[in-house]
Each structure stands twice: as C-alpha cells, then as structure tokens.
Amino acid sequence: MTTIAFLGAGSVVFTRELLADILTFDELRGVTLALHDIDAERLETAEAIARRTASQLGALPVITTSLDRRVVLDGADFVVNAVQVGMHAATVRDFEIPARYGLRQTIGDTLGVGGIFRALRTFPVLAGIAADMRELCPRAWLLNYTNPMAMNIGYLAAIAPDLRAVGLCHSVYWTVRDLSDLLGVPYSEVDYTGAGVNHQAWLLRLEHRGESLYPRLDELLERDPGLRRRVRMDMYRRLGYFPTETSEHSSEYVPWYLRDDAEIERLRIPVGDYLRISADNVDEYRETRRAVLAGEPLDVSRDATEYAPQVIHSITTGTRRRIHANVANAGLISNLPEGYAVEVPCVVDALGVRPERVGALPAQCAALNRGFVNVGELTVRAALTGDRRMVRQAAMVDPNTAATLSLDRIWELCDELTAAHGDLIPEALR
C-alpha cells in the first residue's frame, strides 16, 4: 500500500486541496495518509479534514497522525513538505522590520531579506527531514512545496545529494492557463516550455497549433494600455520572454520597480501584500476548523491541478505526464550555475521524475537569473559554513535591496532581523 506522509499538514487549506486531488484518483483511494504537524490543534484539524474529505469522496484511505515526524516518515513512499517555520509571526517580522528601513517587499518568501531569513529558518528543519528520510524511507520522493523553493532545493542538493527531492510549484502552469484565457485559446491546445529558476522562469515556447502566441500577445498589449500596467507585462515587453510568476512576486526580484514611487503607481504594485495574504490564511484556517468541527461539508470539487497528486499517481501507476519542477542543475541549463536549483520540464512515470535538458537560456534571461541565483547560493553557503557575513553578503547582492539601501543599512537590517527571529535562526548565524 502506498504511504504518503504530509509534513506541515496543519496548513489545512492546502492539505485539504491536496487530499481531494489525491483521493480523486481511483488508484489512490486506499492509500495511507500519514499526517504530521508540530501544532496539536492544527494536526487535529488536518485529521478531521482528511476524514471528512475521504467520506465525501467515498474513499477509504488509512489515516494516521503524529506530532513526531519520524513516526510518519517511517516507511513512507512519498513525503509532501509544506512546513512554514515561524508561521505568521515570523512573516510579520520579515515585513515590518525592513519597512522601517525603507525597504519595500510584496511577498517576501523567495528572494530579498524576506526570502533569505525565511530560508535560514527553514534549513535546520530540512536538514532534520533529510536525515530522518535517509534512515526511515531512503527511497521515498520528497515533494517540496515550502518556499523559498530554489534556496530549499539548492540546500538539499548540497547536504543530501542522494535524496530524491523535487520542488513543486504551480507558477508555470497557471501562467500558461492565464495567458491562454487572455488570448482566447484553449489551454489544452497550447504547447509550452518554461525554464529558469523558480518564480523567475521564462516561457521559451508558447504555441497554439504550432504557431507562436507571442505576436498575438504583442498585438493585445499595443491595443490595451491598462494591460501594460503590470510588472510582468512590462518585463516581457523589454526582455522578449514572459516570466512565469505573478507581477507581485516579479517586482521584488529586480532592481527597477519597488524603489520608485512612480513605478509602483504606474504598475499598480501592492507593497506588503503578503502581510494581508498571511493574515487571511490564519482567518481561513480558523473558519475551516470551525466548519469541519461543526460537521459542515467541505468543498472537495477538484480537477487534480496540483502537481504532487499527479506525481504520486504517475510514479505509482506508470501514467506518463510532463510537468515543470525544480531540481538541482546537472547540465540542464548550461548558462546557469551547476548544483543550484533550476525549474525545467520533467517527465514523470514509473521511473520517477526525470528532468529534461534545456540547454542555454536566452542571454538576457540567464543574466537576470544569475542575479537571482547569487542571492540563493550565498544564503545556502552561509548556512553550510556558519559564516554570518555571507548572510549580509546575500542581502548586499539582492537586486531590490541593493537598489534601495546603503551597505551600512543592509548590515544593520540583517543584524536586527537576526535578533528578532532569535533561536529560529541557526545558532552559528546568530
């Protein structure tokens, strides 16, 4: 029987969606779902959601729970990781402290000081997961959803290169879905290839029945000035390839937008937006817990769009799929650094997740990606070496931070964030 371990199962809304997708597949309706969280109340809620979801779908999975991570990992075939170290309180610190320095962020979970410190909080947990998996389920697939995705996969590649770790993110998929709707073509008829780094990959190919959709997008942008008032439309017009993450995300990975009041207004950038999203997630958790404990039905209508259920189904049944995923760069993108995480097309079937070689990215796309990668590589190296200067150096080379703050202010900001996060930061880096 296939066993799927969920780490961070207390992220109940996301867990509910994954469970509904998994149990929609006939071949997975009897799997073992092993749920783990360090918060007893959230774990209780996750279990109630799992049982309610199974009941509503008429599935008969075996459902177990434990506050002990090792218990759910023992013998697992797949490990879905969705932990958030520090939860909402840490997110608030990542935004409010930089804001006092005049540093603007929108999402703060991928790059910049928000991404750097989120990674430093997460790396010790990843190291524990990797060690436990090597002992308890060495052949399992680790399907990571936790951000910062590229830094986390890069860190795992450095400390546990033998681990079957894959980073899953829906940004490429939803970018193409949104563009298909915008251009009036059925998504099912669109062929595409995305490659780069997570949250800053590029649609190298976007075609409908063999014809590039880029000229049609160009025409639409010429006719619609409102559409041009979006960050990634602006980036596409200047770079020639469409970025695969939202404008809110994309704005904080480059030096051009957030430092400028006029650009923020022109491109309608929602500064600090993730604070609202994070607070909404807390409210949604409370409402979901109330509803499930009150016996109210859950919305389990799904179309299996998340990647983890598809990966699990493909490996279990041999059904062949092509997805975009994050793996260590082993000659996959020739003009990005070896070893660090890249996002590329992957074939998934009974043999596992097999990345496709892309070759060289367009020079301008690779140039922008290398600035992105520099931040992550220094953050990973800081954790590996315990060199506190490298945390500051990672912030120094971050495009948005470097465009906004002086070097002294960057160091002061990193000192204050380190103190504020306390023992969530590795001891050597405090």
Contact 363, 334 (CB under 8 A): no
Q: How far apart are CA 194 and CA 211, in angstroms?
A: 17
From 182, 138, 125, 156, select the one nearest 8 (Cα to Cα). Answer: 125
Looking up tokens 């650009």, which residue turns up?
263
Is 169 known to sit in a ligand binding site?
A: yes
Burial class (CB in 10 A: 0-12, 13-18, 19+), 351: exposed
Burial class (CB in 10 A: 0-12, 13-18, 19+), 100: exposed
Q: Which two tokens stand for residue 48?
A: 């109630």
- CA distance to 119, 156, 343, per residue, from 149 (Å): 9, 11, 10
Quick one: CA torsion of 55, 30, 288, 307, rounded to 10 degrees? -140
Catalytic residue among 36, 88, 170, 421: 170
* Active-site residue flag, 170: yes
Q: How far apart are CA 18 and CA 305, in angstroms?
A: 9
Q: How far apart are CA 240 and CA 218, in angstroms?
A: 10
- CA distance to 26, 163, 396, 404, per residue, from 317 (Å): 11, 22, 47, 51
Q: Which one-letter amino acid corresponds to residue 132?
A: D
Q: How far apart are CA 20 and CA 300, in angstroms?
A: 6
Q: How far apart are CA 76 and CA 270, in angstroms?
A: 41
**CB-based contacts of 349: which residues, under 8 Å, 6+ apart?**
314, 315, 318, 319, 320, 321
β-strand pairing of 32-36 with 62-66: parallel
Is 414 known to sit in a ligand binding site?
A: no
Is 199 known to sit in a ligand binding site?
A: yes
β-strand pairing of 32-36 with 164-167: unpaired
**CB-based contacts of 214: which residues, under 8 Å, 6+ apart?**
206, 242
Residue numbering of the annotated binding site: 147, 169, 199
Residues marked active site are found at 170
Residue numbering of the annotated binding site for Mn(2+): 169, 199
Residue numbering of the annotated binding site for substrate: 147
